[in-house]
Amino acid sequence: MTSSTVGEEFEADLVTRYGSPLYVYDLDRLRAAHRDLREALPEPSRIYYSLKANPHPGLVGALREAGARAEITSRGELASALEAGCPAGELLYSGPGKTPGELDEAVLAGVRSFSVESFGDLERIGAAANARGAVADCALRINAAGAPGSAGLRMTGSASQFGFDLDVLLDAPEQLLVAGTRIVGLHFFPLTNATDEEGLCAELVQSIRTAAELRETLGIELRLVDLGGGFAAPYAVPGDRPRYPGLRASVSKALDESLPGWRDGAPVVAFESGRYLVGDSGRLLCTVTDIKESRGTSYAVLDSGINHLGGLAGLGRLLPMSAKPLREQPLDGVVATGAPGPEGAERVTLAGPLCTPADVLGRAVPLPGLSPGTVLAFPNVGAYGLTASLLGFLGHPAPAEVVVDGGEVVSVTRLALQRHQVTGPGPRATQHTAVKELT
């Protein structure tokens, strides 16, 4: 079971010490998630942690120690992975639109494994590697989205900016011969947040069959098959990660049939995960700053909104979120008035501090009795929390990020949003600055 040494009293004390709002990440929960995923997956296999979900170096470092490798897609994620101690040679660089400049930086840093999204991407990866006298190991990303259960290589998925359509690849295999590269892998990522184990397994099995056929047809020396993932996790609502008790057996069987040799690492089988690994390790603590009533609706205004959480949702999609009161405490040094919400207000709209009607974290949330100074906790926001949000919008400071390990605070940082004079390449650090205790 997922265990945590972080209690709600402890969390509320963090707000007293470091200010509101703040994110708290519990490394014990992160390691439990990694263990659960490890046990669900075929053995041997490799787990890549997708930094997209949360690039905090403290989390990346803990996952590295647990045995995961890092999958990165940008200069910032490269910097985070290196800061977390990931060896550059073990990173997988993926994503569309990699520029010559960032590729050069990656190759210079020692990155040698790339996921390839198109023939143009392959050319640019090759040019960057060649220029440094290196050879890039490339995994072709295959667009199989929307083609579940399809049989035969000619059947492709829907249109996508990600990966190669199978027919495009098969029509011009000679375009895969690019100096500075060698094609040694295939990369699939057809779905995400899959709670249905049967559907997920069917997708993985389909990818395995496609990989075996492509190896044959294209004559690839297949060293890596990255099957992606899609492992689900609750987001900003209470609940547990799903389990996949049947996945290991069914996927191992498909691997035995289609890619014998995988048990000896030929090819290495890999999976990717973001949300499953870090989602339930993180909580956002924030404080009610105002309570008001408008035309029959009760509002609780918070000191945190779509600038810190659910920014993707702020761009047109409202997710159901729920928070839980932890304690009442003075706000910014001012003792709370204690004025409770309107009589009988059982449900409130949780609004953030931004001057936009889009800044709503939840509507009709059953949270009676809130008052200014109430500390609220949003659960399960370790993935796609802070860095997936509209941090720059309206200029509120970033929340502190507190990493807890074994019940001890091991780091407290704050992402800095500062305007710099541009005199050369952008800053490479992840720009985490230390946070001082308030008292």
Ligand X SMILES: *Cc1c(COP(=O)(O)O)cnc(C)c1O
Beta-bridge partners for 165: none
Please choose, from the candidates 324, 318, 331, the residue with its C-alpha nearest in 3D space to the C-alpha of residue 438.
331
Q: Which of 23, 25, 93, 189 binds ligand X (CB under 6 A)?
A: 189
According to DSSP, the β-strands at 297-302 and 347-351 are parallel
Interface with ligand X includes 5 (CB under 6 A)? no
52: contact with ligand X by CB under 6 A: yes
Amino acid at 411: S
311 to 113, 158, 305, 357, 371: CA distances (angstroms): 31, 27, 8, 13, 25
Could you say which residues in the range 308-367 bind ligand X, by CB under 6 A? none
* Nearest residue (beta carbon) to ligand X: 274
Single out the segment in contact with ligand X by CB under 6 A; choices: 47-55, 100-108, 202-210, 409-417.
Answer: 47-55
Tokens of 238: 């209470």
Is residue 188 near ligand X by the rule CB under 6 A?
no
Please work out the total of residues on this chain that contact ligand X, with binding judged by CB under 6 A: 16
**What is the per-residue binding string for ligand X in 224-253, x denoting contact by CB under 6 A?**
----xx-x----------------------
CA distance 19 to 181: 50
Report phi then psi at 38, rounded to 5: -55, -45
Position among 56, 112, 275, 432 found at the interface with ligand X (CB under 6 A): 275
Q: What is the DSSP string of 237-261?
A: SS------TTHHHHHHHHHHHHSTT
- Quick one: which of 45, 113, 210, 273 contacts ligand X (CB under 6 A)? 273
Please report how close the Cβ of residue 383 comes to ligand X at its closest, in angstroms: 6
DSSP 46-89: EEEEEGGG---HHHHHHHHHHT-EEEE-SHHHHHHHHHTT--GG
Dihedral, CA atoms, 20, 21, 27, 28, nearest 10 degrees? 70
The minimum distance between CB 416 and ligand X, in angstroms, equals 25
| Tokens, residue 113 | 């494994």
Q: Which is nearer to ligand X, 53 or 122 (CB)?
A: 53
Selected range binding ligand X among 38-46, 79-87, 271-279, 370-378, rule: CB under 6 A: 271-279
Min CB(262)–ligand X separation in Å: 20
CB of 411 to ligand X, least distance (A): 23
Instruction: Please tell me the number of Cα atoms within 13 Å of 131 on its side-chain side.
Output: 14
Q: Which residue of 20, 45, 50, 250 would you call a contact of ligand X, by CB under 6 A?
A: 50
Interacting residues with ligand X between 101 and 120 (CB under 6 A): none
Binding of residue 53 to ligand X (CB under 6 A)? yes
Alpha-carbon gap, residue 126 to 130, rounded angstroms = 6
Give the whole-angstrom CA distance, residue 157 versus residue 144. 5
The answer to whether 161 and 118 have CB atoms below 8 angstroms apart is no
Give the DSSP H/E element, type plus range, for residue 308.
Answer: none
Q: Which of 274, 282, 310, 399 binds ligand X (CB under 6 A)?
A: 274
Q: Which is nearer to ligand X, 378 or 384 (CB)?
A: 384
Q: Does 272 engage in binding with ligand X (CB under 6 A)?
A: yes
Cβ 329 to ligand X shortest distance, Å? 34
Residues that bind ligand X (CB under 6 A): 50, 52-53, 94, 189, 192-193, 228-229, 231, 272-276, 383
